[in-house]
Amino acid sequence: MSHPSPDKCKDVLDLSRDPVKHFVRVNGWLQAATSRFAKLNAQGAPREFGLRYLTLCGKEGIDIYLFKRAALIRDNGRGFPSVFYCESYVGNYAQVRELLGKTRSFLGNFEELVNKNCFHEYVTNNPFDVVNLDFSGSCFPRADYPFSGTLRSITRLIEFQKGNEFDLFVTFKALRSAENNDAVTELAANMEKNFEENNEIEEKFKTCFGNLTPDDILEQDYGRFLLATFPKIVFGFGSSNSFVVKCPQKFLYQRINRRGTKYQIVKFIFSFENLGHSSTFSRASRRTAELAAHYKESTLSDFDVVPLDVDNVVIHNDVLKNELKEDCVDILESRKAFGT
């Protein structure tokens, strides 16, 4: 089992308290999780210890305690029974394990976790209500296959969740030079193929991007390219498993690493709802047609979702910036170490 170096982890972890990142926690993750919790209660599906939550929480567990403060999850005095977290760096795992106690966890990366047979069994018996994949790396690593291990793992997790509605949060680093060129050019080609198959999708794309082609956006603004194209992959994954998928919120902001290289962070919030079992569409062929119609609807409506540039909202607003910093500190100070 391989783990990232301490220096690599430091690049990521020094930013965990950043007000720009915390803005998305509060205005993206928390809002979506609150809506999911309300839906479960309305459906008569209460959770004894709150949302069933899978997270890549990092060493400080800020998102877990944010949800606890909002009464979306509860501890039992020894840990959080409805939470499952994954951490790939040994030092961080030891620190968060001390903080979160008997909370279920896995030392290793998300891809390794999903490939564990025992994890599939666990998800089958305890499907998640919210999955937060706050990756620190890129979507299509240069050394990986065009269909990356990360994407394969997301696909498998969606398969595990089949029949159980949930929300999925996904975060990636958008740095064009770090990506597998075959993968991103194929993604642009797939969008062009969508245009050939459906004029409405092409017209909607032109409404958003004018005369720019997917290749133009890929070369000019890789972060925006991912925001425009990555949801279509997830819509397809969902449709293959009888989900209707929407992406109601997208965020991006700028970063610079220790070597002075600028890149972007892109964040997506997806909702997965079951298609349902109307007798009108009981036959497989009719069901396939309905899923295709929902995929098209999701793709068209996705162009109406304007990504929020968090830097524009936070960086020049000192009042908001300080409020977010103070809120993050309050959450950190509220934590209770359960120990192991």
Structure confidence by residue, pLDDT tens digits, 281-309: 456 677 778 888 888 899 999 999 999 99
- pLDDT given for residue 336 in this prediction: 83
How do residues 34-43 score in pLDDT, each as one tens digit?
999 999 999 9
pLDDT band at 4 (very low <50, low <70, confident <90, very high): very low
Q: What is the mean pLDDT of residues 186-202?
A: 89
Q: What is the mean pLDDT of residues 12-40?
A: 90
Q: What ranges in the chain are assigned the alpha helix state H?
A: 6-13, 19-24, 30-42, 62-69, 90-100, 110-114, 117-125, 149-160, 181-197, 199-209, 214-220, 222-240, 284-302, 310-314, 318-334
How do residues 34-71 score in pLDDT, each as one tens digit?
999 999 999 998 889 999 999 999 899 999 999 999 99
- pLDDT given for residue 3 in this prediction: 43
- pLDDT given for residue 209 in this prediction: 92
- pLDDT given for residue 5 in this prediction: 41
Rounded-to-integer distance, Cα 12 and Cα 224, Å: 22
Domain ranges in the chain are 6-334
What's this model's pTM, rounded to 2 decimal places?
0.92
Say whether pLDDT at 161 is over 50. Answer: yes
